Amino acid sequence: MGCSCCRLVFSLLLAAALACRAAALWPWPQYIRTSHRRYTLYPNIFQFRYHAGSAAQAGCAVLDEAFQRYRKLLFGSGSWPRPSFPGKRFVLGKEMLVVSVATAECDEYPTLESAENYNLTINDDKCLLLSDTVWGALRGLETFSQLVWKSAEGTFFVNKTRIRDFPRFPHRGLLLDTSRHYLPLSSILDTLDVMAYNKFNVFHWHLVDDPSFPYESFTYPQLSRKGSYNPATHVYTAQDVKEIIEYARLRGIRVLAEFDTPGHTLSWGPGVPGLLTPCYSGSQPSGTFGPVNPSLNSTYEFMSTFFLEISAVFPDFYLHLGGDEVDFTCWYESNPGIQDFMKKKGFNDFKELESFYIHTLLDIVSAYDKGYVVWQEVFDNKVKVRPDTVIQVWRETVPVDYMKEMEKITQAGFRALLSAPWYLNHITYGPDWNDMYKVEPLAFDGTPEQEALVIGGEACMWGEYVDSTNLVPRLWPRAGAVAERLWSSNLTNNLGFAYERLSHFRCELLRRGVQAQPINVGYCEQEFEQT
Ligand X SMILES: *[C@@H]1O[C@H](CO)[C@@H](O)[C@H](O)[C@H]1NC(C)=O
Residues noted as catalytic: 325
Query: What is the contact surface with ligand X in residues (CB under 6 A)?
Result: 3, 20, 22-23, 34, 36, 38, 117, 119, 130-132, 159, 164, 297, 440, 490
Helices and strands (H and E) in the chain: how many: 18, 18
Q: Does the bond joining 399 to the residue before it have cis omega, within 30 degrees of 0?
A: yes
Task: Output 32 or 207, the one with its CB closest to ligand X.
Answer: 32
How far is residue 438's CA from residue 523's CA, in Å, rounded to a whole number?
A: 25
Longest dimension (CA), the chain: 92
Q: Are 27 and 488 in contact (CB under 8 A)?
A: yes
3-state secondary structure of 434: helix
- Taking the complex as a whole, how short is the minimal distance between the CB of residue 274 and ligand X, in angstroms? 12
- Taking the complex as a whole, how short is the minimal distance between the CB of residue 121 and ligand X, in angstroms? 9
Task: Output 396 or 440, the one with its CB closest to ligand X.
Answer: 440
Task: Output 151 or 329, the one with its CB closest to ligand X.
Answer: 151
Residue-level length of the chain: 531
Task: Output 35 or 517, the one with its CB closest to ligand X.
Answer: 35
- Taking the complex as a whole, how short is the minimal distance between the CB of residue 120 and ligand X, in angstroms? 9
Q: Are 472 and 516 in contact (CB under 8 A)?
A: yes
Task: Output 36 or 345, the one with its CB closest to ligand X.
Answer: 36
3-state secondary structure of 320: strand
Task: Output 379 or 497, the one with its CB closest to ligand X.
Answer: 497
Interior angle at CA 481, CA 478 and CA 485, nearest 5: 160
Q: 236: phi > 0 → left, psi -120 to 50 → alpha, else beta; which?
A: beta
Question: Residue 56's Cα: distance from chain center in Å?
Answer: 26
Task: Output 161 or 217, the one with its CB closest to ligand X.
Answer: 161
Interior angle at CA 262, CA 257 and CA 265, nearest 5: 75
- Taking the complex as a whole, how short is the minimal distance between the CB of residue 25 and ligand X, in angstroms? 9
Round the CA-based radius of gyration of the chain to a whole number and report it.
Answer: 25
> Alpha carbon of 379 to those of 143, 189, 369: distances in Å?
38, 33, 21
Task: Output 129 or 266, the one with its CB closest to ligand X.
Answer: 129
Phi and psi (nearest 5°) for 198? -95, 5
- Taking the complex as a whole, how short is the minimal distance between the CB of residue 158 and ligand X, in angstroms? 9
How far is residue 116's CA from residue 132's CA, in Å, rounded to a whole number?
A: 7
- Taking the complex as a whole, how short is the minimal distance between the CB of residue 295 and ligand X, in angstroms? 9
Task: Output 161 or 267, the one with its CB closest to ligand X.
Answer: 161
Instruction: List, in sequence order, the alpha helices (H) in 373-455.
Output: 377-380, 402-411, 433-438, 448-452
How far is residue 320's CA from residue 366's CA, in Å, rounded to a whole number?
A: 12
CA atoms within 13 A on the CB side of 429: 0
In sequence order, what are the residues at sequence separation of 6 or more whose Cβ sits closer than 8 angstroms to the Cβ of residue 133? 101, 102, 103, 105, 114, 115, 116
How far is residue 312's CA from residue 412's CA, in Å, rounded to a whole number?
A: 31
- Taking the complex as a whole, how short is the minimal distance between the CB of residue 59 and ligand X, in angstroms? 22
How far is residue 102's CA from residue 367's CA, in Å, rounded to a whole number?
A: 34
How far is residue 124's CA from residue 91's CA, in Å, rounded to a whole number?
A: 8
- Taking the complex as a whole, how short is the minimal distance between the CB of residue 417 and ligand X, in angstroms? 19
Beta bridge partners of 310: none
Question: Residue 520's Cα: distance from chain center in Å?
Answer: 25
Instruction: List, in sequence order, the alpha helices (H) in 95-221.
Output: 134-147, 185-197
- Give the other-Cβ count within 10 Å of 262's Cβ: 27
- Taking the complex as a whole, how short is the minimal distance between the CB of residue 28 and ligand X, in angstroms? 12
- Taking the complex as a whole, how short is the minimal distance between the CB of residue 409 and ligand X, in angstroms? 19
Phi and psi (nearest 5°) for 33? -130, 130
Task: Output 325 or 440, the one with its CB closest to ligand X.
Answer: 440
In sequence order, what are the residues at sequence separation of 6 or more whose Cβ sits closer than 8 angstroms to the Cβ of residue 192? 203, 244, 247, 248, 251, 253
